Chain A
Amino acid sequence: MWHKRFSHIYLEDGVERYPLTRTILGRLSKAKVVTVRNYKDIFARSGQNFQIQKRSPKLILARKKNNLIYEGSMVSQDFGYRNFYYNSLLLNCVYNCDYCYLQGMYPSGNMVVFVNEEDFYQATLKAIEFRPFQEEPLYLCISYDTDLLAYETVVPYATRFIEFTRSQEDLVIELRTKSANWRPLEDVIPNERCILAWTLSPPMVAKAYEQLTPSPEQRIQAIKHCIDRGWPVRLCFDPVLRIKDWEKVYVKFFKEVFKLLPAEKIRDVSLGVFRMNADYYKRIKKQRTDSDILFYPFESSQSLISYPVDERLHMIETLKAALVKFLPAEKIATWT
């Protein structure tokens, strides 16, 4: 009944000249190509249904004209880096996790790829030059509003940004992913300043709430492979969900993870409970009533919704106590 995923590619006027456009069109040669004057004419149409579009998402190739780099948000962890920034090379993700804020942040379930990669590199160089704390590197998260590695076989941004970072001494990047696809990184020389950050959830959480993602077992295999090759790896147990028997489920999962992965070779761990911008949450709740985790009696504070403060403090304390059995506390960054 449904068209295949990425059955159509919408090309914004003028993007034909970018090499990345040609690469992507070559890799999706069977897709129907539709021209569009401005990518927002399709991505930002009113009344779109994010979840229905996710059944057959389309690709939109566009040029990002401004805001090529953003300051880090309060919802995210800076891991002690004071020059904390992120960028949006892609909008939206190939996965469809129930707890994902993107479904409330974007008006569309379609995916945008900004193909003017050179402009992003230039913006990064400028940010490095003018970073407020000159004695510290620029810390740039390149895979926040998407999952770059998951779509690397079509849009080779992850490996290209890693190569760009290699030549920039004052740049540290984080590539966050749920992908198990380590192959694109096979020919890339590991770099201490390129942190591969895997989001991990217990198998029952992944199965129930992380649609289209590889299983945690597959992700752990990919992590193991990358650790063996010498990549710095971060594990993100984030978001932790307040499911039934959450304590047992997560503690058991930590044990399984560190049975398979050498804890001493993990660069650091991030631990955070589910939270979301309140406006995004309101939008999501209007569109879907099919996911119990979105219907917890949350508390709202400072434009964020999350579990009531005493509950989330208890969750973080309990799970941090479980993690320090494997890693020193200073390696565990928490969000409460």
Chain B
Amino acid sequence: MKLIITALRQEARPLIEKLGLKQDPASRKIPVYSSDDTLLVITGIGKLYAGIATTHALHLVGNPDDCHLINVGMCGGVGDRIALGEAVAIHKIWDHASGREFFPDMLINHSLQEGSLGTFDEPITTANRPILSCDVVDMEASGVFQAAHLFLAPHQMLFLKVVTDYLDYSTEDYAQMLQYYEQSVDDWMPVLEQDPQLDKPDPVLSVGQETLLTNISEGMRLTETQTHKLHDAALRFLVRGGEDLEIIEPNLNVQPEHKSLRNQLFDSMIQTLNQ
């Protein structure tokens, strides 16, 4: 599942259109749009809202192991190294308020520029800017990272920011800034659409095999420790090349009358799997 996080409705709009996402009417406070393989949330401005909405989105996704998060949005360029309307893949996020640094893994190749980003609690302009050692600034990324990192590994996150100003803007410039963003979408959309299935292995035990183990365990009234050992031995057996668990199936309908018989049967089952 692809999870896209944007701060503003205007940032989300081109993505909703291109990906054919439909609004989830159940999520009213935090706007959510989705398709079969994508979920997009609009967080609102600021890292606190960003963190809350990211957590909400990950809760909706359910299984974080299959999730790839992308935070997309507009940002300010600190210098003019990155042109207006150009997208940057972020390799370092620095939270101005706490001074902490966060690093998404940079594993997947792409054609975009890379840079470092500072997240601030208030809009940064030439009038109030401190001395900055980052390339771009925003108001959400550190909140998104911190919330997401509770559930996701660093390789499951990508931060894409489009430079729409050089920290010298007024409200009249907003339409132009938005235009820079919208015009850049085609440049970075392929990166967003990449399907980073990072060789996630299939589970070793199939649903049927899990059920078989549960049924044996319940039928034989195994202790919790024995159940765990049986599961572990079955896993080892299959990883070592065992074809299936047929060899322990005869135990499926066995209901030993007393503990010592159960323990004997259990030991013999483990021995069989360990061979």
Report chain B residues within 8 Å CB of A292. 239-241
User: What's the Cα separation between A10 and B109 when bound, in Å?
Assistant: 17
Q: Are B101 and A296 in contact (CB under 8 A)?
A: no
Whether A49 contacts B108 in the complex (CB less than 8 A), given A32-B91, A36-B92, A291-B239, comes out as no
User: What's the Cα separation between A133 and B37 when bound, in Å?
Assistant: 66
Residue-wise, chain A 32-58 has the 8 Å CB interface mask toward B (1 for contact) of: 101111000110011111001101101
Report the minimum CB–CB distance from B52 to chain A (whole Å).
20
Select which of A32, A45, A46, A55 is within 8 A of B107 by beta carbon.
Answer: A55
Residues of chain A in range 279-299 having any CB-CB distance to chain B below 8 Å = 288-292, 294-297
User: What's the Cα separation between A3 and B155 when bound, in Å?
Assistant: 13
State which of B21-29, B66-74, B146-154 sits at the interface with chain A. Answer: B146-154
Q: Are B91 and A8 in contact (CB under 8 A)?
A: yes
Report chain A residues within 8 Å CB of B149. 45-47
User: What's the Cα separation between A48 and B109 when bound, in Å?
Assistant: 19
In the complex, A74 has a CB within 8 A of chain B: no
In the complex, B201 has a CB within 8 A of chain A: yes
Report chain A residues within 8 Å CB of B103. 10, 34, 36, 41-42, 45
Residues of chain B in range 69-114 having any CB-CB distance to chain A below 8 Å = 91-92, 101, 103, 105-109, 114
Report chain B residues within 8 Å CB of A49. 153, 155, 198
Whether A58 contacts B92 in the complex (CB less than 8 A), given A32-B114, A45-B154, A49-B153, comes out as no
Q: Are B241 and A289 in contact (CB under 8 A)?
A: no
Q: Are B240 and A34 in contact (CB under 8 A)?
A: no
Q: Are A295 and B152 in contact (CB under 8 A)?
A: no
Q: Are B201 and A288 in contact (CB under 8 A)?
A: yes
Residues of chain A in range 88-116 having any CB-CB distance to chain B below 8 Å = none
Report chain B residues within 8 Å CB of A1. 108-109, 194, 196
Whether A52 contacts B101 in the complex (CB less than 8 A), given A45-B154, A291-B239, A292-B241, comes out as no
Centre residue among B235, B237, B240, B241 by max chain A CB count within 10 A: B240
User: What's the Cα separation between A327 and B108 when bound, in Å?
Assistant: 50
Report the minimum CB–CB distance from A98 to chain B (whole Å).
11
Report chain A residues within 8 Å CB of B240. 292, 295-296
Residues of chain B in range 235-252 having any CB-CB distance to chain A below 8 Å = 235-237, 239-241
Centre residue among B106, B114, B152 by max chain A CB count within 10 A: B106
Report the minimum CB–CB distance from B249 to chain A (whole Å).
20
Residue-wise, chain B 261-275 has the 8 Å CB interface mask toward A (1 for contact) of: 000000000000110
In the complex, A2 has a CB within 8 A of chain B: yes
In the complex, A165 has a CB within 8 A of chain B: no
Q: Are A2 and B107 in contact (CB under 8 A)?
A: yes
Q: Are B154 and A3 in contact (CB under 8 A)?
A: no
Report chain B residues within 8 Å CB of A2. 107-109
Report chain A residues within 8 Å CB of B235. 289, 295
Select which of A10, A52, A290 is within 8 A of B198 by beta carbon.
Answer: A52
Q: Are B92 and A34 in contact (CB under 8 A)?
A: yes
Whether A297 contacts B236 in the complex (CB less than 8 A), given A41-B103, A47-B153, A55-B107, comes out as yes
In the complex, A7 has a CB within 8 A of chain B: yes
Residue of A with least CB distance to B197: A1
User: What's the Cα separation between A1 and B198 when bound, in Å?
Assistant: 10
Report the minimum CB–CB distance from B204 to chain A (whole Å).
5
20 chain-A/chain-B pairs, Cβ below 8 angstroms: A1-B194, A2-B107, A2-B108, A2-B109, A3-B109, A8-B91, A8-B106, A34-B116, A36-B92, A36-B101, A45-B149, A52-B155, A52-B199, A53-B107, A53-B155, A55-B107, A56-B107, A288-B201, A289-B204, A295-B236
